[in-house]
Amino acid sequence: MENTTEFTHNERSAKPSLSKNAFIYGLYTSLAMILMSLMFFALDMHLKTWPGYFSYVILIAGIVLAILNYRDRLNRGFISYSHGFQTGAIISAVVAVALAAYIYIYHTVINPEGVQQLLDLTQEKLAERGLSDDMIDQQIEMSAKFMKPGLMAIFSLIGQLIFGLIISLIVPLFLKKTDDSFSSTFPQQ
């Protein structure tokens, strides 16, 4: 008796879910960025500029890890450029929405004085640069128009999405790995 294994069409063509993988990594990345922000708030470093750069590192790491996970653990070691870009784009969208919601909650519930603190810091920096009181007042008045929690959330959403899409265009160039084998070119039916 011959022991043959027959695969149905669905078993052979079943592919791991790229979007599910990206969505999960998008949630992980969002959580890491939010926890980092809360940590800097707890350490009273939330008004400094340099801690914000860590969010870019976390986003890049999230996209890289998601692409590597999909390629190496879910897709037999292969991923095309387009699938890498799709992974990064989904992560970027999840992160952008999550952070926009977080920024709104942060500035309305967690730290409602934060906007005024930012305006005060801006005023100090303008005074250090030697601007006149009238010019400082004009700058602060203009800045205050854009420093509303809703607008800040919208600007964050757009900024995160743009940065994430740029990173999503670059990272797959280095992580793509295509299956050039004969069996992938002509799958058996």
pLDDT of residue 180: 73
Dihedral, CA of residue 93, residue 98, residue 99 and residue 102, to nearest 10: 160
In order of 37, 41, 50, the CA distances from 46 in angstroms are 7, 5, 9
Q: pLDDT of the chain along its 189 residues, tens only?
A: 444 444 334 444 456 799 999 999 999 999 999 999 999 888 888 777 788 899 999 999 999 999 999 999 998 899 999 999 999 999 999 999 999 999 999 999 998 998 888 888 888 888 888 888 888 889 889 888 888 999 999 999 999 999 999 999 999 999 998 877 766 555 555
Q: What is the largest CA-CA distance in the chain?
A: 95
* Predicted TM-score (pTM) above 0.85: no
Q: Given this model, what pLDDT does residue 117 score? A: 87
pLDDT number for residue 14: 55
Q: What is the spatial distance between Cα 40 and Cα 84, in angstroms, rounded to a whole number?
A: 31
Distance CA 93, CA 97 (A): 6
Q: How many helices (H) and strands (E) does the chain have?
A: 8, 0
Distance CA 80, CA 101 (A): 32
Answer for the pair 100, 154: CB distance below 8 angstroms, yes or no.
yes
The whole-number pLDDT of residue 1 equals 46
